[in-house]
Amino acid sequence: MNNTPKIVIVGTGKVAFRLAKRLKSKGLPLSQVIGRSADSAALLASELHCPWTDQWDAILPDADWVLVAVSDDAIDEVAAQLFKYIPDVLVTHTSGATPSNVLSPYFNRFGVFYPLQSFTKERQPVWSKIPFCVDASTQEDLMFLKKMAKVIGNLVYQVNDQQRAVLHVAAVFANNFTNHCFAIAEKILENADLPFEMLHPLMEETLAKAIIDSPAKMQTGPAVRGDEETIGRHLLLLEKYPNWKTIYEDISNDITESNAH
């Protein structure tokens, strides 16, 4: 493989956008962008100053690495379209929830290049703090992916399919579910004509303490104290929000049970 590998990215969404921009900034410019939408592929390629295509058979046959950064349910479809044109190229996907062997029916060399972060096009990632989870079907390709992850990030872990599936579940609790609770809190305050900004210091302190020590040790609130009177008052306030009341009850019960063990 060349010192500067020929990299093709398949996809034009948030993950593709951020990874492509980072690769270029670290001296690893993309050789091609492939997208199912011509407009989206052309737009991303214009930012990267590289060729693009919306035709599967136009993929570079001499690519060194094809990075498939598409939604989980599109990975198999993309692989089925590409394999006849690049049978001996290293192909990886970027999914945390999808096993690497989804690629095995199509490619001899396959793996995963999964950045454990939630990306947006508006917010610049802090790459040095993002864990990269990599795995590959051969030792040589694994070493290559580790090298690429180290170039564009800092934290690199070899994580197999089973471990990555567990990691992804944990990430949903830590990110998606936590953010949903923030959204509920925001709406509750909005309905009471109170600004969500009032909770920002508490949110920052909660995260800081969870990072410093075990979140289980840092747990506070009426459920961990067994304060049934306060919980009862909260449930009365939530009567007009039955879904949120159920969430409050379920989480409170789980905190109580966890604290009892």
Domain ranges of the chain: 7-159, 165-260
CA torsion 113→119→123→128, rounded to 10°? Answer: -30
What's the whole-number mean pLDDT along residues 24-33?
A: 95
What's the whole-number mean pLDDT along residues 29-35?
A: 96
What's the whole-number mean pLDDT along residues 172-194?
A: 97
Note the pLDDT tens digit of each residue in 231-256: 999 999 999 999 999 999 999 999 99
Pair 45, 51: CB distance under 8 Å: yes
pTM of the complete model: 0.91
pLDDT of amino acid 259: 84
Note the pLDDT tens digit of each residue in 85-102: 999 999 999 999 999 999
What's the whole-number mean pLDDT along residues 37-49?
A: 95
CATH of 165-260, one of 3.40.50.300, 1.20.1250.20, 1.10.1040.20, 3.40.1440.10: 1.10.1040.20
What's the whole-number mean pLDDT along residues 46-54?
A: 96
* Cα–Cα dist 140/219, whole Å: 44
Note the pLDDT tens digit of each residue in 122-167: 889 999 999 999 999 999 999 999 999 999 999 999 999 999 999 9
What's the whole-number mean pLDDT along residues 18-26?
A: 95
* Cα–Cα dist 84/65, whole Å: 15
7-159 architecture in CATH?
3-Layer(aba) Sandwich (3.40)
pLDDT of amino acid 142: 98
Helices (H), the chain: 14-25, 38-48, 75-82, 139-152, 161-171, 178-191, 200-212, 215-218, 222-225, 228-237, 242-260
What's the whole-number mean pLDDT along residues 191-213?
A: 96
pLDDT of amino acid 3: 76
Q: SS3 for 110?
A: strand
Which pLDDT band holds residue 121 (cuts at 50, 70, 90)? confident
Q: SS3 for 220?
A: coil
Note the pLDDT tens digit of each residue in 62-75: 999 999 999 999 99
pLDDT of amino acid 38: 96
* Cα–Cα dist 209/218, whole Å: 7
Which pLDDT band holds residue 1 (cuts at 50, 70, 90)? low
Q: Where are the beta strands (DSSP E) in 17-125?
A: 30-34, 52-53, 65-68, 90-93, 110-115
User: CA end-to-end span of the chain, whole Å?
Assistant: 54
**Residue for token digits 């049970």?**
257
pLDDT of amino acid 122: 81
**36 alpha-carbon distance from chain centroid:** 21
